[in-house]
Amino acid sequence: MNKSGFYDAWRSDKVNKGYAGHFQSRDEKAHTERRRIVNSVYSIASVLESEDAINSCTRSLCDTLRGFSRNETKVDLALWMQYYAFDILGELIFGSRFGFMEERNDVGNYMKAIHSICIRNTIAGTLPSYLSQFTAPTLALFNSTFREAISTIINLAVASKTAMVKRMGEIEEDKDDRRDMLRKLVELSADRGNVVNFTTSHIHSESHSSFFAGADTTAIALSSILGHLIRKPKAYEKLTAEIDTTFSNGLLSSPVKYNEAIKLPYLRACINEGMRLHPSVGLSMPREVPSYGVTINGYHIPEKSTVGMNPAVVQYDTDWFGTDAEQYNPDRWLGVDGKQMEKAMLHFGYGTRICLGKNIALSEIYKLIPQLLREFHIHLVNPDKVLESRNYWFNKVINEEVYIEERFH
């Protein structure tokens, strides 16, 4: 099925010229063709060519957390996962960080802007088309935060283009040999751009979309995985023991390598369970019923109707995940049903529309979680606090105050 009109609200003709974008495009054929052009850039092999850049960001994060530990400072873990994810995207896409971790704040108010735009687009996309066109003017009229966000989001597009032009200049002058994504997109355009219609405007669209959509979703996953672990001491201790044993046996490096981490079964189980219970997208992924209609589970749904599946509903289905589906239980992934359950995971979407940046996110997750648990003990400031979130498309974890303690001095 094609995507529904919900996604029209997310289009930006200032950035996505000609092609709506991988996320926004409703045309399945166009999406398949455009995605095929860039798939290799987002492969895990391609992402791991920049593994040293991820390591550098991880080291900066750990150094900062070590300082917080020594000063016994409270840390908003969810906020720092955002800083980390945004800076890594800067490294992977543009060849340099945006400076979130160094400045210890929302550089350029980009996080705030993306949050506000998600609210606007979710409302506009959900309303009937004859009403959605009034959403932005109405919000701008009555909401000063949204007015600021509109200005900032324009600045974000300008900033991403400026960073792109700067990096392209460095590549053309052969100032370094970093294999970041922008270099690969530039090479793709130079080699095949005329044949497949992949121009500088397409490079800007790719880099801007990755920045807009890639950081928050990864930060949410990291926050959920860690948030559930620190609330379940037995699982936390079991995972820490697996990490320590693997490290002692010389099978886990420091910094942790992705290809080492993916071999740890309980780590994989905890990552899957954290993403299952709290998917980064907390609304349905709407699709439009085709002209001939469709019958689902015995019910006929007429053409042009909108249907969708919410990851936060599907991933709690007891038929797939057992009678304890609402409970945190990483052990469920260790049995023979683990591979089968992965078929019901919509955290990264599904099928032809699966998240293009999935491998970027997984590389960060599999490298950071064991690194943090190896170096630190993390515990809640308030042990009774439940995981708190706000859901405006991105289901963001918020107010996750923790203390950090060094494990080794």
Lowest mean pLDDT among 31-45, 131-145, 211-225, 290-304: 131-145
Give the CA distances from residue 128 to residues 118, 146, 296, in Å, rounded to whole numbers and listed in that order.
17, 21, 24
Instruction: Read off the pLDDT band of 114 (50, 70, 90).
Output: confident
Instruction: Read off the pLDDT band of 248 (50, 70, 90).
Output: very high
Q: pLDDT per residue over 21-38, tens digit each?
A: 788 888 888 888 889 999
Q: pLDDT per residue over 182-231, tens digit each?
A: 889 988 888 888 888 888 888 888 887 887 788 999 999 999 999 999 99
- CATH of range 2-11+22-406; options 1.10.3720.10, 1.10.150.120, 1.10.630.10, 3.40.50.300: 1.10.630.10
Give the CA distances from residue 143 to residues 9, 54, 109, in Å, rounded to whole numbers and listed in that order.
19, 38, 16
pLDDT of 139 above 80: no
Q: 38 or 10: which carries more pLDDT confidence?
A: 38
Q: 337 or 50: which carries more pLDDT confidence?
A: 50
What integer best gives the mean pLDDT of the chain? 90
pLDDT of 237 above 90: yes
pLDDT of 126 above 70: yes
pLDDT of 13 above 70: no
pLDDT of 377 above 90: yes
Report pLDDT for 182: 86
Report pLDDT for 59: 98
Report pLDDT for 101: 97
Report pLDDT for 266: 98
pLDDT of 235 above 60: yes
The pTM score is 0.93
Instruction: Taking residues 135-140, report their average pLDDT.
Output: 66
Report pLDDT for 135: 66
Lowest mean pLDDT among 177-181, 255-259, 276-280: 177-181
For residue 270, say whether it is annotated as part of any ligand binding site.
no
pLDDT of 130 above 80: no
Percent of the chain with pLDDT over 70: 93
Instruction: Read off the pLDDT band of 160 (50, 70, 90).
Output: confident
Q: Three-state SS across the chain?
A: CEECHHHHHHCCCCCCCCCCCCCCCCCHHHHHHHHHHHHHHHCHHHHHCCHHHHHHHHHHHHHHHHHHHHCCCCEEHHHHHHHHHHHHHHHHHHCCCCCHHHHCCCHHHHHHHHHHHHHHHHHHHHCCHHHHCCHHHHHHHHCHHHHHHHHHHHHHHHHHHHHHHHHHHHHHCCCCCCCCHHHHHHHHHHHHHHHHCCCHHHHHHHHHHHHHHHHHHHHHHHHHHHHHHHCCHHHHHHHHHHHHHHHHCCCCCCCCCHHHHCCCHHHHHHHHHHHHHCCCECCCCCEECCCCCEEECCEEECCCCEECCCHHHHCCCHHHHCCCCCCCCHHHHHCCCHHHHHCCCCCCCCHHHCCCCHHHHHHHHHHHHHHHHHHEEEEECCCCCCCEEEEECEEEEECCEEEEEECCC
Q: 366 or 208: which carries more pLDDT confidence?
A: 366
92 alpha carbon, distance to own chain's centre: 14
pLDDT of 125 above 90: no
Instruction: Taking residues 380-404, report their average pLDDT.
Output: 95
pLDDT of 80 above 90: yes
What is the C-alpha to C-alpha distance for residues 81 and 101, in angstroms, rounded to an integer? Answer: 10
Report pLDDT for 79: 98
Lowest mean pLDDT among 175-179, 225-229, 290-294: 175-179
Report pLDDT for 97: 92
Where exactly are the structural domains of the chain? 2-11+22-406
